[in-house]
Amino acid sequence: MTESTSTSTVLSDGRPIAAGESSHLPGDSHMWVMVLGDLVIFGGYFLIYMVDRAMKPAPFLAAQQHLSITTGVVNTLVLLTSSLIVARSVYAARSGKYDQAIKLTYLGGAFGVLFIAIKAYEWSLELSKGLTVSNGFFSYYYVLTGVHMLHVTLGLIILGVSVRELRAPKRRRTNLVEQGATYWHMVDLLWVVIFGLLYVVR
């Protein structure tokens, strides 16, 4: 019996995975170290916030009432949609549909920009009410959402690098596209936790 030469997907370096070959971890070890490091750092922020909140529940709850949970939900849906689109772009790249992957990456990035715009608008509303870092709850709010916004911005830059990679036929590397998606999904996960802690948990 002859060995099958059919393929089902591709490896991180662009080589096809033969039938029966095992799959791989998307991206590379360096990106995963970066992602896990960010998760640990944010985990520390979350722990400090929860301890401080437990010590001053009343003032934190009173300040939390100024946040619009509707705005938080909309921004969460925006970022979840972006993450789904970026995941589809990786699938397209693995399938050799590079033009589609580029369009999807641009669209995913556009949703990321929309997330930033909504958050900036929300910040302007809170600041106009005099809710600044002098308020215990809002000091955490601005730090957590601000640091997260920096990560979103970095994620957009990484997605831009992915597009640049996809547009160059001689330099296309699927693993780099996967790395960009891995980082973007981490940004999404962090926001879901931030949304839960700041907007939902009472």
CATH code assigned at 130: 1.20.120.80
Task: Identify whether 91 is part of a domain.
Answer: yes
Burial of 187 (C-beta count, 10 Å sphere; 0-12/13-18/19+):
buried
Residue ranges with strand state E in the chain: 7-10, 16-18
Task: Identify whether 8 is part of a domain.
Answer: no
Counted domains in the chain: 1
Q: Band of the pLDDT at 34, cuts 50, 70, 90? A: confident
Residue 17, strand partner residues = 9
Unique residue bearing structure tokens 């789904």: 84
Taking residues 16-22, report their average pLDDT. Answer: 40
Q: pTM for the complete prediction?
A: 0.83
| Confidence at residue 106, expressed as pLDDT on a 0 to 100 scale | 97
Q: Band of the pLDDT at 163, cuts 50, 70, 90? A: very high
Range of the domain at 110: 29-200
Task: Identify whether 45 is part of a domain.
Answer: yes
Task: Identify whether 116 is part of a domain.
Answer: yes
Whether 196 shows a pLDDT value over 90: the answer reads: yes
Task: Identify whether 13 is part of a domain.
Answer: no
Taking residues 172-199, report their average pLDDT. Answer: 92
